[in-house]
Amino acid sequence: MTAFSEAAGKGEGYDLAAARVEDEPQSPAEGGDGAQGPAEGGAEEGGGEGPTLGAALEAILLVVDEPVAEVVLAQVLERPTHEVATALRTLAAEYTASGRGFDLREVAGGWRFYTRADCAQLVERFVRDGQQSRLTQAALETLAVVAYRQPVSRARVAAVRGVNSDGVMRTLVARGLVEEAGTDPESQAVLYRTSSYFLERLGLRDLSELPELAPFLPDDVENLEETTK
């Protein structure tokens, strides 16, 4: 007997919604204690079909170099603009509430991550110290070899210096002073050359303005040349 027939026989009032719930099986999303709807801002669970809206927005905004408009984000994610706008504001509020070192700001008609204002001195110190740090003697020697022998392989640099220079070369590449310049046709070793940033830092227009090397070479340079080949 259904809830409807029971209620009719007793002459009691009837709740259509309650009868539907009793007569029809409940899905996991309906009924049951602790069931929750989608999170505010459209950052609902992906159900195994992909990232949430919030996660997708974070991923995109981490790689942009300028503010991105809500309508552009909505087009990329194929979601309504109002959902994207709500999700962005929800994320921004979450970052602020949790005291993160960065925040999400709406600037110049778009959204972008920025470091938080109260961390400015630390960020400034990190950037300033990194720019003022000097090259080690080993790095200067390696840079000189590359500058005057380019394009040159790591093995060739090591032969000239008489010591393994792989770590120093990685440092010079990371600093933008040295860059890859193809491979050696015979050995297939990667070749390196100085970069345009190297010329900029030394105030040179091109490599022809490098100082003459002869005055700094030892007297037995010819024998040294033969031993390093």
Mean pLDDT of 149-168: 89
Q: Is the backbone peptide bond immediately before 151 cis, with ω within 30 degrees of 0?
A: yes
For residue 119, the model assigns a pLDDT of: 92
Q: Are strands 152-153 and 190-194 parallel, antiparallel or unpaired?
A: antiparallel
| Cβ atoms of residues 54 and 70 within 8 Å | no
The 10 Å Cβ neighbour count of residue 169 is: 23
35 versus 80: which is more confidently predicted? 80
In this structure, which amino acid lies at residue 202? Answer: L
Which residues are CB-neighbours of 206 under 8 A, at least 6 positions away?
199
For residue 32, the model assigns a pLDDT of: 44
User: Rounded to an integer, what distance in angstroms lies between the CA atom of residue 82 and that of residue 74?
Assistant: 9
Least confident of 28-37, 105-114, 142-151, 191-200: 28-37
User: Rounded to an integer, what distance in angstroms lies between the CA atom of residue 155 and that of residue 216?
Assistant: 23
User: Rounded to an integer, what distance in angstroms lies between the CA atom of residue 93 and that of residue 3?
Assistant: 47
For residue 146, the model assigns a pLDDT of: 93
Kindly write down the DSSP assignment for every residue of 11-79, as one continuous string: T----HHHHHHHHSPPPTTSSSTT---PPGGG----TTSS--HHHHHHHHHTS-SS-B-HHHHHHHHT-
For residue 179, the model assigns a pLDDT of: 92
First to last CA, the chain: 99
| Confidence band, pLDDT 50/70/90 cuts, at residue 99 | very high
| Confidence band, pLDDT 50/70/90 cuts, at residue 191 | very high
| Confidence band, pLDDT 50/70/90 cuts, at residue 52 | very high
User: Rounded to an integer, what distance in angstroms lies between the CA atom of residue 45 and that of residue 140?
Assistant: 54
The 10 Å Cβ neighbour count of residue 112 is: 16
The 10 Å Cβ neighbour count of residue 175 is: 17
| Cβ atoms of residues 201 and 221 within 8 Å | no
User: Rounded to an integer, what distance in angstroms lies between the CA atom of residue 6 and that of residue 109?
Assistant: 61
For residue 108, the model assigns a pLDDT of: 83
Least confident of 24-28, 58-62, 87-91: 24-28
